[in-house]
Structure 1
Amino acid sequence: MTFSSRDRLHDPRGRRVLITGASGTIGRSLGERLTRAGARVVGLDLRPSGDEPFPVIECDITDPDSVTSGVAEALAELGGLDILVNNAGIGGPAPAEHAPGDEVRRQLEINLLGTWRVTAACVDALVAARGRVVMVTSRMAVMQLPLAAAYGASKRAMVAYADALRLELGTHVTVSCVYPSAVRSPIHDSTKAAGLSLEGMSVYEPLDGVVGAIMRTALAVRPRRDVTTTRKGAVEFFLARHLPALTDRIVARTLATRARAGAFDGASLAAGVVERHRKRP
């Protein structure tokens, strides 16, 4: 759901916030806004740039030891934890018809298991503070797009993990999922390089709106379980949840149009899709 003026927010001043993927497009912008609002923010990132306007600790969320030490350092600096924002994530080309390889494992390792590791390391601090977990998922967690099966699967699994976490910690910790569509960032570079750009199948949305939705979710007095970031996203979320067959037909029709128009010509990973659509009567 999108937000209305009736949503009340906690005062961000003094709130202790940990953000993963804090040096990336969304994480950095979110951390900057929260810091300006008076929150105490620490980030985790594989490659901190060093010029973020808040402390960022180098941490590889695919490495259990790195997560243990990185989270411990962050919690020590913050003196506890009120809000964890699981923002770190990657995308990449991974058609469902091909056997899973390194690219698939990489996306699952970061998007799902990395989120799981960081959250588990923060549970005690979150329970003690009666805190909040915000999962930055994706519209593709509910409405899969073709040629990017690993990303959609990892984000849908991330939501399933959030659901389990909510049931287990719900007496003390709130858990919300935010579902942005595509935001222009380097996360799409590898897909574009493989000739599988989803331009025309996915509409980019403004970074500011996505960051605003995450921030409001983190600070809401009565946080919503599921949060979309645009009106269009809210419609897509509803259709995907309640009319999945209709959603499938819409996406399939768009894919067919693009495949027949040559959008994926020369992309070896999409050769099967192109051939099958051109052979259809």
Structure 2
Amino acid sequence: MSRRDATGLRVLVTGASGTFGRALCQELSEQGAHVVGLDLAPRADDPVEVLACDVTDDAAVPAAVAKAVELLGGLDVLVNNAGIGGPAPAELAPGDEVRRQLDINLLGTWRVTAACTEALVASRGRIVMVASRMAVMQLPLAAAYGASKRAMVAYADALRLELGTHVGVTCVYPSSVRSPIHDSTAAAGLSLEGMSAYEPLEGVVDTVLHAALSRRPRRDLPTTRRGAMEFFLARHLPALTDRIVSRTFSERVRSGAFAGADLAARAVARHREAAR
């Protein structure tokens, strides 16, 4: 499908100072778009102007979005990219880590989008949600991230129904990209290395560009051929994907990958018991 020319498009990107956000802002800017970013901690070397904004702050978000729209002179594309990961086994009661992920990944997206809808309706614009393969295929020990991204997709579905006469809404489903988002999980001894194939950053950027610039909005866009296959299986054969993920997780447990990780101790004990 052909793409629109990015020249002159007014784009707002959240999480703009992170690994993916910087790459996306750089590419859009080089293609002629006018880009402003939002980020909790803007960097001096960001490729575009990035406004400081905490997406968990109910008052700060509308103010930052209003300033961004003023700088851009309107808004054609919103890319909801801001997000965090972290260790969160589903069997443990939700604590600060779980609440933080839900507040940023889901509610932060909701806050920013709500502040942008008037401008996007006026321009008949586009919303791109950077979701995750985990929105459709959950991995163990990371329940908060998967739940927040699945809820983000549900929110996108509601937006599409409400705004679809004027605004296109696309969800993009990357797998794993090497970035600091995985650091806290690895530090807790819960690295899922080996359970998820890494993909190049450039492919994710290109897919988001396709979502933003396609002449007709696409509903869902996996970022690789493998991702497209996993997306299809997770949507249509969920029991099969559960078995595949469970088997891979068991192999990781038996290999000692989670040895010494307190948050995985119960899962490790159950697998040992089941293997007797």
1:208 equivalent among 202, 207, 213: 202
Q: How far did 1:218 drift? A: 0.5
Match of 2:170 in 1: 176
Whole-Å separation in 1 of the counterparts to 2:128 and 2:223: 14
Match of 1:131 in 2: 125
- When the two structures are aligned, how many residues end up with a matched partner? 275
Question: Alpha carbon RMSD of aligned pairs, Å?
Answer: 0.5
Match of 1:75 in 2: 69
Whole-Å separation in 1 of the counterparts to 2:141 and 2:182: 13
Matched residues, percent identical? Answer: 72
Using structure 2 for the length normalisation, give the TM-score: 0.99
2:138 equivalent among 138, 141, 144: 144
> Counterpart amino acid of 1:228?
P
- Deviation digits for residues 194-214 of structure 1 (CA, Å, limit 9, x no counterpart): 000000001110000001100
1:108 equivalent among 99, 102, 106: 102
Match of 2:156 in 1: 162
Match of 1:3 in 2: none
The structure 1 segments of at least 4 consecutive aligned residues displaced by more than 4 Å after TM superposition are: none
> Counterpart amino acid of 1:134?
V
1:253 equivalent among 230, 241, 247: 247
- Deviation digits for residues 104-149 of structure 1 (CA, Å, limit 9, x no counterpart): 0000000000000000000000000000000000000000000000
State the secondary structure of the residue aligned to 1:60: coil
Q: How far did 1:223 drift? A: 2.0
Match of 1:274 in 2: 268
Using structure 1 for the length normalisation, give the TM-score: 0.97
Structure 1 unmatched ranges of 5 or more: 1-6
Choose 50-59 or 30-39, whichever is displaced more.
Answer: 50-59
The 5 A counterparts of 1:91-102 are 91-102=85-96
Match of 2:221 in 1: 227
1:52 equivalent among 24, 43, 46: 46
Structure 2 unmatched ranges of 5 or more: none
State the secondary structure of the residue aligned to 2:47: coil
Whole-Å separation in 2 of the counterparts to 1:218 and 1:91: 24
